[in-house]
Amino acid sequence: MYKGKKYIIATVLLWLPMFVIQAQNSASYAKIDSMTYQLYQEKNWSALASLCEQVIGPQMDYYYLRMRAGIANYELGKYRAAARHFEKAKRFNNNDAVSNAYLQYAYLYSNRLEESKKIGALNKDVNFNNKYNAIALESGFKTTTKPNINLAFLNGITLIHGLGKQAGLMHSLNTYLQNEERYNVQQFQYYLRYTIALKGNFKLSVGAHYVFSNVEPKNYLVYEPPGFTHRPPPLTQTLLSIPANGISYTTITLPAQKNHEFIASANLVKQSDKIDLNIGATITKLDTTNLQMLNAGFVIYPFSNNNLQFGLQAFAYTYTQTQKFHTAFSPNLNARLFKNCYLQLSYFHNRNVNIIEQTGLLFNNSIDYTGERYTISPAYQVNPNFCIYGSYLFEKKFHLNDKTYYNYHLFLLGTKFNF
């Protein structure tokens, strides 16, 4: 009898703490649920978001708590944080139309268009295709401090549209015209980018760029000091008479060229509410060089939205004329200054041949490489479907022939329509 009582007491003592913990968890659940519901009813979004961040964990996580956290962050404009909570809410109730609608908008306002489109395919009641389709027109010119290089003119049209339930396409047609001392250049470009939303908040972009260049050569004089060999060959050279001062010049004739050039690039992005990480690779077949390049970078969103973001892209590359790897980097900052006003700032640093940026979109195949570039790009959202933007670029170029630096100033104006 004594041993039986001892066994019963031991069993009770063993299970009692578990019942106490369960009772405490039930009490905590009821208290937290009541507090968060009250803050939700009061629309005290800041307090609600803060409380949810404190209490959500392995032992406290359920559909309504995630929905309240998501809505609170959504109302505060923290769309990237809101998306994270709505994603969790969907795991508790995947077919809920409310969480799907909120998640669709949270992705949209975070500029995650492919993810938004994917969720939109599940939510038949919400349709805003004009947020996914857009057309942009832009025109600009470049001027330089280098004598005998005239203005360069560039024009482009870009079309963005959805493809299927979770992908999108970007088409871009551009022209570039320039007249300088060495040659006249006419370029016609077509760029295509395919972007698809993958599982686990990954996004894959693949870009292809075709460039047709028509280069018309000119004759021009180059000072040739002793021992100097003009590059790049092949060239037609005629030695002129040597003046009394001993300075000699060479007439340089560049060969006529009609070039078909290609760029292929891929970029994979891992997205979260505070930071995006990316890696990519690019190969080229250009008239100036063949390039193989890797890139990696990050973008930080300190307020869990797109109102402020800053990041860095780093590049490692090799090209035809060398087997060594070279590096370049480009930090950038994007900020929403006012309700409808935005500003982007960026810097680029390089010390070798021109490289490729933005998944193959941005390239420069000039034999004069860009050592530094500063960019200022303001934008004004006139209404939800119409935007005006501009860019000013200051480039520090290295002239291949006379081994000197000169500057470029680029001015560009564009408009974007959603439809």
One-letter amino acid at 191 equals Y
Domain ranges for the chain? 2-127, 134-216+258-418, 219-253
Q: Is residue 77 over pLDDT 60?
A: yes
Task: Please tell me the predicted confidence (pLDDT) of residue 21.
Answer: 42
Nearest to 300 by CA among 342, 343, 341, 271: 271
Query: In 43-136, which residue ranges form alpha helices assigned H by DSSP?
Result: 45-55, 63-75, 79-92, 97-109, 113-120
Task: Please tell me the predicted confidence (pLDDT) of residue 117.
Answer: 84
Of 257 and 77, the one with more pLDDT: 77
One-letter amino acid at 393 equals L
Instruction: Summarize pLDDT for 42-58 with one digit per residue, the tens.
Output: 999 999 999 999 999 88
| CB atoms inside a 10 Å sphere around CB 31 | 11
Compute the average pLDDT of residues 68-95. 94
Sign of CA dihedral 363, 368, 371, 372: negative
Of 29 and 154, the one with more pLDDT: 154
Q: Which CATH class is domain 134-216+258-418?
A: mainly beta
Q: Whole-prediction pTM value? A: 0.81
Compute the average pLDDT of residues 225-250. 47
Sign of CA dihedral 400, 401, 403, 408: negative
Instruction: Summarize pLDDT for 155-165 with one digit per residue, the tens.
Output: 999 999 988 88
Q: Is residue 20 over pLDDT 80?
A: no
Q: Is residue 66 over pLDDT 70?
A: yes
Distances (CA, A) of 224 to 139, 182, 228, 251, 369: 39, 16, 6, 10, 21
Binning the chain into helix, strand and coil, the percentages to the nearest 5 are 25, 50, 25
Q: How far apart are CA 110 and CA 119, in angstroms?
A: 14
Task: Please tell me the predicted confidence (pLDDT) of residue 185.
Answer: 87
> Which superfamily is assigned to 2-127 in CATH?
Tetratricopeptide repeat domain (1.25.40.10)
Q: Is residue 123 over pLDDT 70?
A: no
